[in-house]
A and B are shown apart, each in its own frame.
Chain A
């Protein structure tokens, strides 16, 4: 789940989900939005804003952003409703079915957005945003449905290998690997030096998927990748080859023992915690890693110990070697919202000052507006940003790119495969059938 990719303690949140859902739904229904007819600049407008900034520092940043927008647009009041990420899965269908959905809500784009689009409640922001959306570059395309902009990103994420420079040095590795063969030989060196080469949060399921998806991104050509995602069909041979290559890679035992039960971000025993505490040398993760690891270790200079390199090249791959697996966070407006105000607010969030604030204070990773990348100071994060900027194309995480049902089925099939159950056919068929049941 993309929700788990935020540094939150998902585990505890699950159990309190019902209570929180009850509280936040009552607060959202009590805050009424004005009708779309009151779009003239003088009319008072209230926008209810559901976002996943339920923990600091993002919580505080969003509140100050809403207040600052109100200061310059006195007729627009933003009601901030922070909601834990995972709850959007259950809350959005109900909200979009009701007559009173939030005016602005968290949007991860892709197939999930396309699924929500069928509710008929998502506002088409294409014409309103046409004057400024180009500032975001190709990233905004991930928030389109049928070529129209139904959501707008505020940050971008890119997946790659985070590694401990100190452990690499101790194992005698002088430069990060650029091919799978080099990665495997580096794994052997790390093992010989007494370190776990790679930490994997298999208990959270979605980190498993990154491996198979990256093999597929390297092996499939861009056109095959795009048409397969669109058709929700993975029968092209390159996907099966990805399973074959992944199987060979897993055969070298690069991960920590018991990785099937390791969570991605919760506690020092999580995969991010193993990296943070020097128990593992690498982790394949998104750029949010820099916001996750500092909380999991007492090492105050942990961010200086981390380096970043892109997923290595795979021999015989038809994909462009610079392509990256990526995604991001964004927002959608609903049809009941005052559209100019809603669009202006999303434009404000993507303006350079707010983008810089998000990077510096909220550690959101890479800004959606590349003009704010100048404030990225961490060299590892800069390397990730550069790889993203130089990428020939982006491949969105498959679980988001596919419609939700198929994407989640793929994540489960891959997690089962990592746990030794299932085969290439269970992975390939997971998206096109309900065999996962």
Chain B
């Protein structure tokens, strides 16, 4: 900061002592123009895409949400906030939100510790480490559609999963994994965990690489046990990565659609419905596009509120330094 100010002051002195010739630009102006050109070239494509594919559709969604509209013909049936009343008071929508929250909470409570454990394990030097890392990461590479079709087949009554349980002498544990209204949501969660655990592990491994090994070595010299070193040094320094993972995981949980839609279509009897399957069923399938747009706006607000609150209270510490450096 101080250096920038003195540079500016120096530039100012230069301008006073040697006035610029008429028609030519001062170095300061030239620098400003160059910066402007740089910013334009670098930011314009992103801004155009963001405005065109994010901001404008959002404005349209908000606009459509005020109409009763079946998708055909002009928007003529203005109904104000009636769609919002329908969405926010609908029992199935409440169920959908509850399901999204359950998935998000379970992700943090179960996927996170498992991911951290696997990452710590795979960070150690050992035989077959590359293969193990690959094996853990592989499911993440599969598309959600492929994952869903595969697990749908595996979870058939009397299918491979049931056969495995029986083979292990655990035949009593077989269930109608996807047909039971009490189990289906948790079945979906297990499949989502199988798919996304690799992503968490890779993210955390990257975080672990950023922790200097000297810190652990120093702790070891001071007599810390490996557990103490992990507990007091590694995990706290992994904090920023964990906080980013939680953020991505919660947003991902709120947007859960493909897996659920292909495996269960939100059923049976809405037992696995999420905000987006609710939107698809009530907005698209029933051609109530105004209503569907309302669900999108509500989901957007929920995501935005979470994102801002999380930025404010959880991520601020992590991003503060980065932002200050970028601006300064």
A residues contacting B by CB (< 8 A) are: 1, 9, 11-12, 14-16, 89-90, 92-94, 96-97, 115-116, 118-120, 202-205, 256-263, 266-267, 269, 404-405, 408-409, 412, 415-416, 418-422, 434, 436-437
Contact = CB atoms under 8 A, between A and B. Distances in A.
Given A12-B145, A14-B261, A405-B70, A205 B267 contact: yes
B167 to A, nearest CB: 19
Interface in B60-111: 70-73, 86-87, 90, 92-93
A257 B285 CA distance: 28
B180 to A, nearest CB: 8
B71 A408 contact: no
B137 interface: no
17 contacts: A12-B146, A15-B148, A93-B289, A118-B70, A119-B72, A202-B268, A203-B267, A267-B153, A404-B285, A404-B286, A405-B286, A408-B285, A408-B286, A409-B286, A419-B271, A422-B269, A436-B282
Number of chain B interface residues as a range: 35 or more
Interface string B105-139: 00000000000000000000000000000000000
A257 B158 CA distance: 10
Given A97-B73, A261-B267, A404-B70, 4 more contacts: A203-B265, A260-B179, A261-B179, A415-B268
A257 B287 contact: no
A205 B265 contact: yes
B48 to A, nearest CB: 18
B166 to A, nearest CB: 15
A275 B303 CA distance: 45
Interface of B: 70-73, 86-87, 90, 92-93, 143-146, 148-149, 152-153, 156-157, 159, 176-181, 184, 258, 261-262, 264-265, 267-271, 281-282, 284-289, 291
Contacts of B177: 261
Output the residue of B90, B153, B156 with the most chain A CB within 10 A: B156
A420 B92 contact: no
* Top 3 A-B residue pairs of the complex, sorted by shortest distance between their CB atoms: A93-B71, A15-B145, A419-B268
A331 B145 CA distance: 31
Contacts, number: 137
A105 to B, nearest CB: 13
A96 B270 contact: no
Contacts of A263: 152
A118 B267 contact: no
A437 B90 contact: yes
A118 B70 CA distance: 10
Contact of A415 (B87, B149, B180, B269): B269
Nearest to B278: A437
Contacts of A267: 152-153
B145 A404 contact: no
A257 B269 contact: no
A416 B181 CA distance: 10
A97 B90 CA distance: 30
B86 to A, nearest CB: 6
A412 B265 CA distance: 11
B285 A89 contact: yes
Output the residue of B72, B92, B153 with the most chain A CB within 10 A: B72
Contacts of B261: 14
A93 B265 CA distance: 23
B286 A258 contact: no
Nearest to B280: A14
Contact of B267 (A94, A409, A419): A419
Given A93-B289, A202-B268, A260-B179, A269 B156 contact: yes
A51 B206 CA distance: 49
Given A11-B148, A415-B269, A203 B178 contact: yes
B173 to A, nearest CB: 15
B281 A412 contact: yes
A16 B181 CA distance: 28
B229 to A, nearest CB: 44
Contacts of B288: 405
B314 to A, nearest CB: 32
A419 B73 contact: no
A416 B272 CA distance: 12
Contacts of B262: 11-12, 14-15
Contacts of B282: 436-437
Contact of A261 (B86, B87, B149, B176): B176
Given A257-B157, A258-B176, A421-B269, A115 B287 contact: yes
A120 B73 CA distance: 8
Contacts of A96: 72
A269 B151 CA distance: 12
A259 B179 contact: yes
Nearest to B285: A408
A429 to B, nearest CB: 14
Contact of A93 (B72, B143, B178, B181): B72
